[in-house]
Structure 1
């Protein structure tokens, strides 16, 4: 009985989200001088759910994070953190096409280059 309890506690601890997200949400909410009830209501979630997010007990879905960021008037990347924000960026920026002065090539040019006629 004792071993299964320890395993259950360890599994719950591993499933918890990193506390930084909740701390960032709480910091942004307090910086805007808004209550949990106001932010939760404008975000379409319950105050209990917002409380659990802020205390690191729940990990919100991406749409909820987007709504929270909109209500708190902060970029989504500031809630997600720099490490995750840079991980979501493309590996390298697209290179401009010199034939078109930095604009993307028109569709008919791409087909001709591939050997097909429009």
Structure 2
């Protein structure tokens, strides 16, 4: 597999990657939505009725907002709580499904995500079967 800065991947040896925390995945999605809309922290926080500092901490996964706060942020970003929760849940499912390789460096081993193959084109009426 190769080495990178003193780390080497042990082929064939895999570990389950730890799942991301809910607040981290939520924060990533909130930041992505805000940036896609070209909205600033100050503008989005103002629409949600919170401080820009608190929104920044939520986006970085440092704070876990209440359900009321999630609803306010979803509204400020023009989406629904259901849509936001669905996106976060899907991200968490995808990350949990990605196998990790064991990377060894010095005297420790860490799990690192394995690169995913790009999606293949499938005919519109094709039936996919699990192997």
Normalising by the residue count of structure 1, what TM-score does the alignment of the two structures yield? 0.53
State the number of aligned residues.
70
TM-score, normalisation: structure 2: 0.48
Higher gyration radius (CA) = 1
Q: Deviating runs (4+, > 3 A) in structure 1?
A: 81-85
SS of equivalent to 1:70 = helix
**Distance in 1 of aligned mates of 2:48 and 2:66:** 12
Asked if 1:55 corresponds to 2:65, the answer is no
Deviations 1:54-89, CA, capped at 9 Å, x for gaps: 00000111111111111101121232235769xxxx
The runs of 5 or more residues in structure 2 that have no matched partner are 1-20, 91-131
Contact 2:28 2:60 in 1 (8 A): yes
What residue number does 1:65 align with? Answer: 70
1:26 Cα deviation (Å)?
0.3
Alignment-derived partner of residue 46 in structure 1 = 51
2:23 is the alignment partner of 1:23: no
**Where is the strand percentage greater, Structure 1 or Structure 2?**
2
RMSD: 2.1
